[in-house]
Structure 1
């Protein structure tokens, strides 16, 4: 009976370690949001940290080489500033976020309406 419990304990440890390994090596939504924040701050050349609001993943597409995410949201330069909409495309392959990607910032009313169309809830 003691052997059975030892084997059961070993199997439990192995399954726990596999779960921990997969969880640690997987790209999570928070990682994607952090990369998008960094890329927008680089693109705007902001000297102060930007304030991000309502960031969400609007679309997930599975591709043969990985996954493509469309991230939408708003950001401000300060608490009193106007909100500017953005949409970012992030590619993930082999559990790594690629260095490429696209970011569209709302610099005009036409661009803002286009971003809202891209980020609309799709049913």
Structure 2
């Protein structure tokens, strides 16, 4: 089996193996630096650098990236939130602000009902 260029240290010592007892994914190991990454073979596409369908998605214990076995380029895959998730987060923030405002209003009303315009039990004027 031919070796490939290791995406971590750029040496010609990157080999793959399949070991169902270890992982259902293809395992890539570097014989030089002991780097290990996993490949799901269904994630393959044309390389944007060389144009060949030799770019695979690899994942190690820190990152996920596209790696081309033909030209040895890599492109890290950044995890980003979708616009929908960002909108949902903002919506929840607004809802939480409203809940806090309503709770404060209810506490003021309760204190007014309980103490009237007199001082409360802490010796301070009620709000």
TM-score bucket of the superposed structures, by smaller chain: under 0.3
Tell me which protein shows more helix as a share of its residues. Answer: 1
Tell me the TM-score normalised to structure 2 length. Answer: 0.26
The structure whose RCO (Cα within 8 Å, separation 6+) is larger is 1
The structure in which a higher percent of residues are strand is: 1
- TM-score relative to the length of structure 1: 0.26
